[in-house]
Amino acid sequence: MSAAQLIELEDGFKVFASSIMEVRFLHDEIFRAGCYDHVELQQRPLVVDAGANIGMFALYIKRRYPAAEILTFEPAPESAAVLRQNIGLHGLAGITVHDVALGSRPEQVAFTYYPAAPGNSTRYPEQSGPAKEAVGRMLSPRVAERLYRGRDITVPVERLSAFLTPGRPVDLLKIDVEGAELDVLQGIDPPQWPLIRQVIVEVQEHAGRLAAVCDLLSSHGLEPSAGPGPQSDTDSPSRMVRAVRR
């Protein structure tokens, strides 16, 4: 396990990270480019963070909504450990870390972890080609090759419904799981769908997955709209879907 380093991203804002390149990219995407700035929540929201990585989205939510309760899900042990370090570093309360992937049923699955790009780790590495090509165009093929050099691990999968309190609304469900978007959504029981008020999901388009995600959200009373993924080029397979309850 590579040791996380303490990185200063802006004046007074530091985080632990195992990949300096990735954490600077995430900081630019979330805190500077404002890819989630359009989200409006109540002052004490319940937020589900599927694919929490090292916690940059959770830190962003806590900066805007200090009283938020956040359920984070991160199956890669190294990333979950850094996530906990960042929660402790910032003295944050109300964040629960679950060391599992979310899916349509409980199981154990093979998972590819990318040490140089933990946020791109996935249970579907065979679908990573277009994303790797996009990174190659943005940076260089040589850098992309290094970032997508992974190792296989086994991780547990649970359904999201197992962690939701019956009758309690979810103000925001954020999903960034590198190809497993439909798996996460299929792990929500029908009675819990009406309680989900807003969804933001980064979809890695593959074999009609974008349409399937939008159709599923729409069938449960949410109004989806799709746009380019944050900081992605026009040929990137990444799309950002935002859905709010009608």
Buried (b) or exposed (e) across 178-212, using 16+ Cβ within 10 A? bbbbbbbbebbeeebbebbbbbbbbbbbbeebbee
Q: So what's the pLDDT on residue 232?
A: 61
Q: What is the reported pTM?
A: 0.94
Question: Tens digits of per-residue pLDDT, 217-232?
Answer: 999 999 999 988 766 6
Cα–Cα distance, 12 to 169 (Å, whole number): 34
By the 8 A CB rule, do 116 and 76 touch? Answer: no
> Considering all CA atoms of the chain, what is the largest pairwise distance in Å, rounded to the nearest integer?
50
> What span, in angstroms and rounded, lies between the C-alpha atoms of 126 and 12?
40
Output the pLDDT for position 168.
Answer: 96
How far apart CA 173 and CA 145 sit, in angstroms, is 32
Where do the domains of the chain lie, and which CATH numbers do they carry? 40-245 (3.40.50.150)
Number of H helices, E strands in the chain: 7, 12
**Tokens linked to 225:** 């709209």
What pLDDT is recorded for position 14? 97
Residues of the chain with pLDDT under 70: 1-2, 230-235
pLDDT tens column, 5-57: 999 998 889 999 999 999 999 999 999 999 999 999 999 999 999 999 999 99
**So what's the pLDDT on residue 214?**
97
Distance separating alpha carbons of residues 207 and 7, to the nearest angstrom: 38
